[in-house]
């Protein structure tokens, strides 16, 4: 969430920057400044009235002490009217502050200067590509047919139990899934990320803290109506909220976390090969990395996260590319995002497997996540997160790219985790 003083001092720059998102933000920004001006006027009026009430209270006490009850009672009546006025003003001030807060929730983060202008996938900028796309024989199958052929993932059984988008992993499919989770966590902890096990349900405060609410409420599953709890869309949400309302010591930077969780998303369904099989699910597994950084080092940390994920994909020997997302594709809370995509040979298309983002102070302003600088002044930290990695499309890439006429080979780096080298 953008800070009001920052908006006040950088109005034109913010409007211009948000135009990269194809958003005409002038109206919202002007409303923020208008609401804030009204709020500050009310606050000044309240402060002046409270100051007058305090003086009256002292004067009333002195008058009664001196035996001047007549004037004391007159001032007491005046004081009572002031207090009634102040109570009404407090209600109006609270309403205005809430209106301002709700308006601020609707304004997305400012894109980093390096974010390209555009509004579609075609405008995303490829910044890196690596790996050799294997040549498959003409009998090669997409992963959903391989899953059925080798009886390792059952999409129909998942539909029977829950609905579309909830697959059941079986036998070597389940073991390969577990192997990937363990491998990703091991790679992350070896790189200095502390492992956490976190709740799979969050409250409203957590959703607002990382920006899922109110922007993505329609994409989350609600578990309780009276006291709403939400199934997590990613481990980013509970992990980042571990530090909500914290004041961090500067010496504790960087804070590096990793966690495995299932993820739940009520994304609207559609039809076609691009959403078949593991391409789009309502429940899927993901290993996440989260960093809390000093503002001076957050973009260096972002580059380090990108390199970390590159190394994992190199070990898996999957062909991939990295895209810098354009303004129109950028997530609501992100200042800069790199998407990793693996090439699905059998589908002849790229599949997103990770997003790595720097949110700068957008989340920490919501979270009230601060640190004390060398001068003892409180400042907002920066938060970053990335998928390391999302399992469904990594698994799809392995099944399709490693398929042979005799079965599906397992990447060498995963064999110690699976205990087998082929699915046949």
Question: pTM score, two decimals?
Answer: 0.93
Q: Which two tokens stand for residue 293?
A: 């950084």
pLDDT value of residue 51: 94
Q: Which of 208-217, 244-253, 284-293, 356-365 has the weakest average pLDDT?
A: 208-217
The answer for residues whose C-beta is within 8 angstroms of residue 146's C-beta and 6 or more apart is 152, 346, 399, 400, 403, 408
Is pLDDT of 269 > 90?
A: no
The whole-number average pLDDT for the span 95-104 is 95
Q: Which residues pair with 263 in a beta bridge?
A: 284
The whole-number average pLDDT for the span 206-215 is 93
Question: Could you tell me the CA-to-CA distances from 334 to 220, 331, 403 in Å, in that order?
Answer: 19, 5, 37
Band of pLDDT at residue 272, cut at 50, 70 and 90: low
Is pLDDT of 273 > 60?
A: no
User: CA 326 to CA 65: how far, in whole Å?
Assistant: 72
Which pairs from 30-38 meet CB under 8 Å and 24+ separation?
31/103, 32/4, 32/7, 32/100, 32/103, 32/104, 32/107, 33/7, 33/8, 35/96, 35/99, 35/100, 35/103, 36/4, 36/8, 36/100, 38/96
User: CA 175 to CA 361: how far, in whole Å?
Assistant: 40
Is pLDDT of 173 > 60?
A: yes
The whole-number average pLDDT for the span 212-227 is 86
Q: Domain 4-105 - what CATH class?
A: mainly alpha
Is 345 in contact with 327 (CB distance < 8 Å)? no
Burial class (CB in 10 A: 0-12, 13-18, 19+), 58: exposed
% of residues, the chain, pLDDT over 90: 87
The whole-number average pLDDT for the span 65-88 is 91
User: CA 398 to CA 139: how far, in whole Å?
Assistant: 17
The answer for residues whose C-beta is within 8 angstroms of residue 294's C-beta and 6 or more apart is 250, 253, 254, 371, 381, 382
Q: Which two tokens stand for residue 276?
A: 């078949």
pLDDT value of residue 286: 98
Is 209 in contact with 240 (CB distance < 8 Å)? yes
The answer for residues whose C-beta is within 8 angstroms of residue 122's C-beta and 6 or more apart is none
pLDDT per position as a tens digit, 352-377: 999 999 999 999 999 999 999 988 99
Same-fold call for 4-105 versus 121-423: no
| Three-class secondary structure of residue 260 per DSSP | strand
Nearest residue to 346 via CA among 279, 280, 406, 400: 400
Helices (H), 281-390: 298-316, 362-367
Band of pLDDT at residue 268, cut at 50, 70 and 90: low
pLDDT per position as a tens digit, 332-350: 999 999 999 999 989 999 9
Is pLDDT of 202 > 60?
A: yes
Is pLDDT of 419 > 80?
A: yes
Which pairs from 48-55 meet CB under 8 Å and 24+ separation?
49/82, 49/85, 49/86, 49/89, 50/86, 52/82, 53/79, 53/82, 53/83, 53/86
pLDDT value of residue 342: 97
Band of pLDDT at residue 274, cut at 50, 70 and 90: low
Question: Could you tell me the CA-to-CA distances from 206 to 107, 201, 237, 364, 367 in Å, in that order?
Answer: 18, 10, 7, 12, 8
Band of pLDDT at residue 218, cut at 50, 70 and 90: confident
pLDDT per position as a tens digit, 133-162: 999 888 899 999 999 999 999 999 999 999
pLDDT per position as a tens digit, 404-417: 999 999 999 999 99
Q: In the chain, what are the domain boundaries?
A: 4-105, 121-423
Is pLDDT of 270 > 80?
A: no
Q: Domain 121-423 - what CATH class?
A: alpha beta
Is 308 in contact with 406 (CB distance < 8 Å)? no
For 390, how many CA atoms within 13 A lie in the half-sphere containing its CB?
A: 27
Is 100 in contact with 35 (CB distance < 8 Å)? yes
Is pLDDT of 225 > 90?
A: no
């Amino acid at each position: 969430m953008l800070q009001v003083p920052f908006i006040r001092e950088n109005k034109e720059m913010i409007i211009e920057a948000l135009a990269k998102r194809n958003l005409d933000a002038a109206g919202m920004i002007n409303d923020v400044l208008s609401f804030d001006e009204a709020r500050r006027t009310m606050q000044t009026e309240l402060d002046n009235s409270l100051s007058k009430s305090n003086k009256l209270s002292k004067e009333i006490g002195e008058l009664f002490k001196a035996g001047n009850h007549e004037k004391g009672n007159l001032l007491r009546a005046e004081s009572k009217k002031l207090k009634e006025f102040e109570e009404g003003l407090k209600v109006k001030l609270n309403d205005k502050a809430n209106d301002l807060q709700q308006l601020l929730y609707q304004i997305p983060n400012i894109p980093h200067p390096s974010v390209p202008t555009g509004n579609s996938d075609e405008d995303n900028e490829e910044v890196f590509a690596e790996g050799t796309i294997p040549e498959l024989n003409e009998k090669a199958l997409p992963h959903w047919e391989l899953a059925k052929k080798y009886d390792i993932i059952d999409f129909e059984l998942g539909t029977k139990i829950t609905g579309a988008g909830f697959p059941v992993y079986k036998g070597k499919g389940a073991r390969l899934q577990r192997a990937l989770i363990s491998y990703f966590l091991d790679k992350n902890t070896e790189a200095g990320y502390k492992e956490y096990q976190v709740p799979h349900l969050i409250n409203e405060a957590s959703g607002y803290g990382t920006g899922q609410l109110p922007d993505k409420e329609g994409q989350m599953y609600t578990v309780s109506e009276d006291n709403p709890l939400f199934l997590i869309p990613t481990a980013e949400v509970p992990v980042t909220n571990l530090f909500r309302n914290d004041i961090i010591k500067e010496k504790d930077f960087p804070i590096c976390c990793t966690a495995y969780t299932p993820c739940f998303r009520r994304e609207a369904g559609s039809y076609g090969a691009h959403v078949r099989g593991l391409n789009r699910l309502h429940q899927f597994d993901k290993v996440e990395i989260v960093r809390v950084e000093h503002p001076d080092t957050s973009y260096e940390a972002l580059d380090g996260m990108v390199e970390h994920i590159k190394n994992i994909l190199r070990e898996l020997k999957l062909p991939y590319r990295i895209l810098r997302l354009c303004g129109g594709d950028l997530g609501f809370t992100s200042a800069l995002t790199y998407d990793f995509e693996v090439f699905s040979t059998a589908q002849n298309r790229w599949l997103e497997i990770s997003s790595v983002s720097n949110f700068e102070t957008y989340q920490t302003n919501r979270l009230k996540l601060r640190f004390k600088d060398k001068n003892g002044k409180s400042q907002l930290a920066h938060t970053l997160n990335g998928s390391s990695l999302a399992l469904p499309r990594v698994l799809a890439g392995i099944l399709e790219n490693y398929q042979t006429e005799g079965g599906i080979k397992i990447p060498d780096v995963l064999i110690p985790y699976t205990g087998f080298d082929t699915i046949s």
